[in-house]
Amino acid sequence: MTRALIIEADGGSRGNPGTAGSGAVVIDEATGEVIREICRFVGIATNNVAEYIALVAGLEAAYDIDSNADITVRMDSKLVIEQMAGRWKIKHPDMLQLGKQVQDLVRGKTVTWQWIPREQNFRADALANKAMDELADSESSGVTVTPGAKNRLASAVTEFNEIAPSSVRSPVDVTQPLTTIVLVRHGRTALTEARKISGGDGDDPDLSEVGRLDAAAVANALGQIGSQGSWQRIAPISAIVTSPMHRAKQTAQIIADRFGLSVNENENLREISFGTWDGLTHEEAENTDAEIWNAWRGSWSVSPPKGESLEVFDARLQEARRQIVERHAGKTVVVVAHVMPIRGFLRWAFDAAAAAYWRPQVAPCSISIIRVWGDETAEVVTVNHTAHL
């Protein structure tokens, strides 16, 4: 039986022409396994040149894996797909040579040309951006697995719906676009390390030295989104939003530098106000206001002296969520915030009661991911991921 392989390819140019990179993945059609990832640093070129170079790299890799394979090429470049399918003529001189190279590779082979929307080509897009970020070529092969493991992999892949909620039990037929929110808590500060309360209206400390290391580690981990590992089928990150507090902004900037993105602030992501308890240890706050402390624990409506109740805080936090989803609809956005805002996003995603504000653990520079469709429904992908730390 002839093996069937899928190639997803993409190229990009920061300037068009400008710094350009190409990315391609080769996928086993039967299992859904990504068996080869290719990054090519192109130099100074246009988008179209980079796209053709990505296609050549993908075809060469696929035929290296199996020279007799049936190939399906998927690209979001209408130009390349239509030209290679023979429906459009190649006119630009830069394209003529590359087009001939592709035609030589596929001569006598079985190849299907398929245009796909950009959001479905996120793996190749991420690899092209990796090539541009690192100004270098790279290549990796998938892990060889046993037939039984392939069956398990294929089963797992089918349970992740890239557009709609993954569970067949979801009662909602969504009409809003999928927005993926990647929640990152800021790195450690001197108050974090001293286990002192650090709210939205008290001291606004900077990241500590270890906090900056936290932030660098989480920035690298986020590079797997849309590229590799368990998050490779999530669309690549395209925006970063942060709380206005120093520790969050500094963490967000370290992440932004990794991806070449700007940072937007949202005032409603500020940490909950602990009022007069800010800067105290838990023991000190309890000893200072024992009666209020005991009433506050587990309460939706009781607030610390001069601080915020969960009820008041949740109202502004959900407004932040709506603002972010409206502005970044259909995208993957990193939200850098604090323990309580992250718990607030999770509370909404789980459609949970007040207890969601104290049950999830949210470590410094942990990653939690939710997928949302406007206000219609949500799906929780991961909570408090810390393997990178």
pLDDT in tens, 180-202: 999 999 999 998 888 899 898 88
Whether 149 has a pLDDT exceeding 50, the answer reads no
Parts of the chain belonging to CATH 3.30.420.10: 4-158
Task: Return the CATH number of the domain spanning residue range 4-158.
Answer: 3.30.420.10
Q: Which of 276, 272, 251, 252 is nearest to 262 (CA)?
A: 252
pLDDT of residue 136: 87
Task: Return d(Cα 269, Cα 251) in angstroms, integer.
Answer: 14
On average, the pLDDT of the chain sits at 90
Which range, of 93-102, 145-154, 360-369, averages the lowest pLDDT?
A: 145-154
Which range, of 8-22, 191-205, 290-304, averages the lowest pLDDT?
A: 191-205
Which range, of 112-126, 138-152, 215-229, 255-269, averages the lowest pLDDT?
A: 138-152
Q: Is 186 a known active-site residue?
A: yes
When pLDDT is cut at 50, 70 and 90, the band that residue 294 belongs to is very high
When pLDDT is cut at 50, 70 and 90, the band that residue 156 belongs to is very low
Bridge partners of 306?
A: none
Residue-by-residue DSSP string for 11-38? EEEETTTEEEEEEEEEEETTT--EEEEE
Q: Is 162 a known active-site residue?
A: no
Is the preceding peptide bond at 236 cis, omega within 30 degrees of 0?
Answer: no
Residue of 33, 271, 308, 379 marked active site: 271
Parts of the chain belonging to CATH 3.40.50.1240: 178-385
| CB contact set of 333 (below 8 Å; sequence gap of 6+) | 179, 180, 181, 182, 237, 238, 239, 240, 241, 324
Residue-by-residue DSSP string for 66-95? -TT-EEEEEES-HHHHHHHTTSS---SHHH
H/E stretch holding 9 reads strand 4-14
Task: Return the CATH number of the domain spanning residue range 178-385.
Answer: 3.40.50.1240
Which range, of 36-45, 192-201, 264-273, 283-292, averages the lowest pLDDT?
A: 192-201
373 DSSP 8-state letter: E
pLDDT of residue 152: 41
pLDDT of residue 361: 96
H/E stretch holding 178 reads strand 178-185
> Exposure pattern of 158-168 as b/e (b: 16+ CB <10 Å)?
eeeeeeebeee
Whether 153 has a pLDDT exceeding 50, the answer reads no
H/E stretch holding 372 reads strand 367-373
The alpha carbons of the chain give a radius of gyration, in whole angstroms, of: 24
pLDDT of residue 143: 41
Q: Which of 126, 149, 160, 159 is nearest to 33 (CA)?
A: 149
Which range, of 192-206, 243-257, 294-308, averages the lowest pLDDT?
A: 192-206
Do 272 and 340 touch, CB atoms closer than 8 A?
A: yes
Per cent of the chain over pLDDT 90 is 72
Give per-residue pLDDT as tens, 109-134. Answer: 999 999 998 888 989 999 999 999 88
pLDDT of residue 145: 36
Instruction: Report, as an integer, the average pLDDT of 262-289.
Output: 95
- Please report, for residues 76, 91, 238, 349, 371, the alpha-carbon distance to residue 126 in angstroms, rounded to integers and kept in the order given: 13, 29, 11, 27, 19
pLDDT of residue 159: 63
Do 51 and 77 touch, CB atoms closer than 8 A?
A: yes
Residue of 8, 33, 37, 186 marked active site: 186
* More confidently predicted of 338 and 17: 338
